[in-house]
Amino acid sequence: MTHNNANDLDLQIDQAALKPLFKMKPHRHVFALLIDWTLIIAAIYFCLQFFNPLTYILAVLIIGARMHGLAILMHDASHYRFLKNRKWNDLLTNLVTMYPLFTSIAVYRQNHMRHHRHLNTEDDPDWVAKLTMREFRFPKTRTEFLLTVFSYFTLYQGAKDAIWFLKRFQAPEKAKTGKLEDKRPKLIFMFVLFTVLTITGTWQYYILFWFVPYLSTFFMFQYIRSVAEHFGELAYDHLLTSTRTVKANAFERFLLAPHNVGYHLEHHLYPGVPFYNLPKLQRILMKDPEYKQKAHVTQGYMAGLLNELNTSPTTLP
């Protein structure tokens, strides 16, 4: 499979309708960030006011889902779809999303751009790494897949994923300038955070409401999304069949597919389109006969995706 974006395909698209979709609207990105952090804080507050096992589980689900939302916004920023000023794009993204998730945008971007350039090939670092993991070996029965999903509540699977994630996105790789990433801002951020937690005696809340969701529901939602994007009943013989768009319902969008991340095929075709314009992009693409016929579009995560994971083995194209 050699196609990497829409420029390699012969799609008949109205360019006049397409062009406005690339325009960045930073206020939309900032509003999404505020929503995610507000929901995290509200979940913590509500749980502390009415603490019991049920409210704690609910808080862990909401916090993990909004952590996932923050990661999706970081992904948009890794394509410089947040701010035109690239320095501020990266600095603000690190402070409000990446440093709290223990990594940085620079290292993520290097890995992610290779994923886009070499989608689902031996040069795609995400694809190759995941094919070595048992949880990404398909086909799976619905029961096998759900057991893997629920294993994240033991924290064991999430701890494994966190080790893999942190190793992968902490490596001091050289940027295009040839310079190593400056780790000092991240170290200062972590020092200030841990100092405040120690002085205020709030480590227990940090563990309960950040560390536990991070090792459970955050990585659980990441896993489900990763499977939806590139695994299970995909033909891998064409860009339009090498990744999946999932049309999610409102509940699924809140938990599994925040900020239009389900429109993954459209993102690979036009990575310069910000997340808030992806639904419009798909409506335009649907007017092209080749896209409408070939594009792998799945209706829902809980119904459609689950039905597609037990049919086709995942192999390198």
Rounded to a whole number of angstroms, the distance between the first and last alpha carbons of the chain is: 7
Q: Of how many residues is the chain composed?
A: 317
Q: What is the pLDDT of residue 38?
A: 98
Q: What is the pLDDT of residue 309?
A: 87
**Under 8 Å between Cβ of 163 and 102:** no
Using CA atoms, how far apart are residues 48 and 55, in angstroms rounded to an integer? 9
Burial of 87 (0-12, 13-18, 19+ CB in 10 A): exposed
Residue 138, both tokens: 């398909």
Q: What is the pLDDT of residue 167?
A: 73
**Under 8 Å between Cβ of 37 and 312:** no
Q: In 94-122, which positions are buried (b, 16+ CB within 10 angstroms) versus exposed (e)? A: bebbbbbbebbbbbbbbbbeebeebbbbe
Q: What is the pLDDT of residue 316?
A: 37
Q: What is the pLDDT of residue 201?
A: 96
3-state secondary structure 178-223: CCECCCHHHHHHHHHHHHHHHHHCCHHHHHHHHHHHHHHHHHHHHH
Q: What is the pLDDT of residue 170?
A: 58
Q: What is the pLDDT of residue 56?
A: 98
pTM to 2 decimal places = 0.90
- What is the pLDDT tens value at each position of the chain, 317 positions in all? 444 666 667 778 888 999 999 999 999 999 999 999 999 999 999 999 999 999 999 999 999 999 999 999 999 999 999 999 999 999 999 999 999 999 889 888 988 999 998 888 888 888 888 888 888 988 888 899 999 999 999 998 888 888 887 776 655 444 444 455 677 888 999 999 999 999 999 999 999 999 999 999 999 999 999 999 998 878 888 888 889 999 999 999 999 999 999 999 999 999 999 999 999 999 999 999 889 998 999 999 988 898 888 765 444 33
DSSP for 89-121, please give it.
HHHHHIIIIITTTTS-HHHHHHHHHHHHHTTTS
**Under 8 Å between Cβ of 95 and 104:** no
Using CA atoms, how far apart are residues 284 and 188, in angstroms rounded to an integer? 45
